[in-house]
Structure 1
């Protein structure tokens, strides 16, 4: 049996288990154990435990629970409200400005949490009811939050980029540097779509009004003085200083990602306790328990995915796949398109963490053989993962928002979010034709 056929069998086992609805980590554990038993032999059963231990015996992984804790500390405070109010003060006079302020708040909050669902939940709790009260449609309100939340896995610090860096053996600092400019550009593209969508809704409402039909209430705009704007901006200063400090210690080589994460946790705790005063003793305990739960699940997915990747590497699946593509003499852009389509389909069913850890060891030799930069590909891959967060049936951000606004039909949330999938696809095309947009910052710093 060929190595590619053996790899296909492992993939089918995993997909069959995913379709049962069991937790992803447990499905991967069974798949990993079955892979060892089938292709390495029952006599190698003891290797399973060794591979799980070796995959987690990495100091770099310590950054994951620390960044998760940092994000949850912010999420449990009043920080998201401060960010949203600052964005509203500066963008309120633009058409769709309140939805744009949600995207802007999500962008900054994502830089602090590294988690898309956490960003969507924290900003959504504040922004969606406010937008509904001002006359924004459910589609625009929920779509902006769902899409803005996806930036949590792209803008550093990002758990997804940490895992990609470990799996691809690439500099996490360079990956963090590479994610900054694309994250800002995508946030601007989201705001442009908000403006277009709100313009189309306003025109539709005017036509309905002219024909005597029912129309939605006009969007209310509040006026802010320059003193209000700069006052709100001052409230975001601690966030900006914190992000700057973490990035400086990373990019200047003062600390490793894990050490920077530890510093970040301490600083966030001080900010939340002294400035925002958003956590009681009970809330702090809940944050610690939630952080432990999330971190354990991420690390379990990482460990079992790494076992599967090790077995696939032993079977020479990545090398034979790269050789097969090379022998087929396909244009490298056609191959990249196929890779993105496969990742997009996987994103319909699996969370980004499991996709990154499982596919990176397989795809990286292929990417390198085609002459693509591994840092660039890490960002492209992450943007692709963002699409999966706002597409069914998994679509974590969609269900997070549904939990926040249970009265809004899931269909409305989905319709409002789907255009942003097109925006993300357009971003991938843009960064593919102009890779220096991604690479110039890490090249300048390193």
Structure 2
């Protein structure tokens, strides 16, 4: 009975517009008060302190700050110009350049919405002018921006590590091969979709001098994801230490090399990074607080006993949870979805002896699907707003239609990883 009341309370608070962190905190407090009475506040304070007193979580504000510096410093524009210089004359090349720019930015910025905004701002007009349909022009940055949750610097993977007590370095590297597959599929589809367009203006080929100029400018930005990937893979330092050094290097690149950020910009960037990180940390604290209350009530064990006791095979469990997460993603953003469900799902995964790293990749692809799912669809709404700002005649229907093919491509990769988990596990297995 108390479980049903808790679910109703949480849903009611969300329905009336309560911030999800506050809703989870109040629900958790109600559960704890039911169990321990007046000691609920003391238990809540201890759980929240122990949750945030974790060096792994320190990487989150550092990655958020680094992403803010990259976005403000115009790194997305420089990367796009580099890929466009080499691919712009190829049929579908500008679309491929958009996908590659999103992929490289994803390796240094854990915010999918930030990536979609940065790349959408520079790519949408170029795509529209070069014969791409409005649907494809909106769908590409909206969908490829979702790679931010799958690549290193992923805030989602760090949260997953904190909840499941899994190696954060291996989690950050696990999404690399699936991300490459997604980039290839997106690029192939882009070329095919562009080939069906009637308006395909010829784009002059850039000279090698122009390409060299673009490369000289972009190489400094490319050093950041290379350093991150190499540092995490080799294990020369902890992820938090690598995030700190990468954050400092991003300041050096944008302030002293590109001169795209002045010292006056640093304080607003720090304010943005601090406010965003504070919101994420508050969400983490209240979610773990609620998860602790559910665990004390034995909810995860009840769910685990149901699945295992009914002899439900692991493939059916994966299918049920993936479908549930897709539906949940239409109402919640990724971090909330992860923090609400993984405390319950983790014991079940242990019971099935299913690899937590492989499941992390499946979960993150589900989050990418949620970014393209109405009515929330954060990356879609972001890119649609940018397109309207540029004066393009777009509607919400146009934006959603443009993302639909990429939604199914994400879905195909999710099935592929579920069938062949070694796609997610091979790189982590090679790490120390």
Specify the TM-score bucket, using the shorter chain as the normaliser: over 0.9
Partner Cα separation in structure 1 for residue 223 and residue 263 of structure 2: 26
Per the alignment, residue 301 of structure 1 pairs with 283
Per the alignment, residue 319 of structure 1 pairs with 301
Per the alignment, residue 214 of structure 1 pairs with none
The SS at the match of 1:112 is coil
Q: Deviations over 1:183-239 (max 9, x none)?
A: 111111111221232233x2xx4xxxxxxxxxxx44452322344334433433223
Task: Give 1:42 deviation, angstroms.
Answer: 4.1
Partner Cα separation in structure 2 for residue 87 and residue 63 of structure 1: 29
Per the alignment, residue 36 of structure 1 pairs with 32
Per the alignment, residue 351 of structure 1 pairs with 333
Provide the TM-score with structure 1 as the length reference.
0.91
Partner Cα separation in structure 2 for residue 385 and residue 271 of structure 1: 31
Q: Deviations over 1:123-168 (max 9, x none)?
A: 1111112222323222111100001110011110111100001101
How many residues of Structure 1 are paired with residues of Structure 2 in the alignment?
Answer: 428
Per the alignment, residue 413 of structure 1 pairs with 399
CA contact (8 A) 2:61 2:277 kept: yes
The SS at the match of 2:186 is helix
Q: 2:410 aligns with which of 424, 428, 435?
A: 424
Aligned runs of 1:362-377 on 2, under 5 Å? Answer: 362-377=344-359
Per the alignment, residue 179 of structure 1 pairs with 175
Aligned runs of 1:103-118 on 2, under 5 Å? Answer: 103-118=99-114
Partner Cα separation in structure 2 for residue 8 and residue 219 of structure 1: 60
Task: Give 1:366 deviation, angstroms.
Answer: 1.0
CA contact (8 A) 1:68 1:115 kept: yes
- The alpha-carbon distance between structure 1 residues 278 and 7, as it changes in their structure 2 partners (threshold 3 A), is farther
Partner Cα separation in structure 2 for residue 173 and residue 322 of structure 1: 28
The SS at the match of 1:113 is coil
Provide the TM-score with structure 2 as the length reference.
0.94
The SS at the match of 1:372 is coil
- The alpha-carbon distance between structure 1 residues 196 and 42, as it changes in their structure 2 partners (threshold 3 A), is farther
Task: Give 1:83 deviation, angstroms.
Answer: 0.6
Unaligned residue ranges in structure 1 (runs of 5+): 206-216
Q: CA RMSD in A?
A: 1.8
Task: Give 1:7 deviation, angstroms.
Answer: 4.2
Partner Cα separation in structure 2 for residue 219 and residue 308 of structure 1: 56
Per the alignment, residue 292 of structure 2 pairs with 310
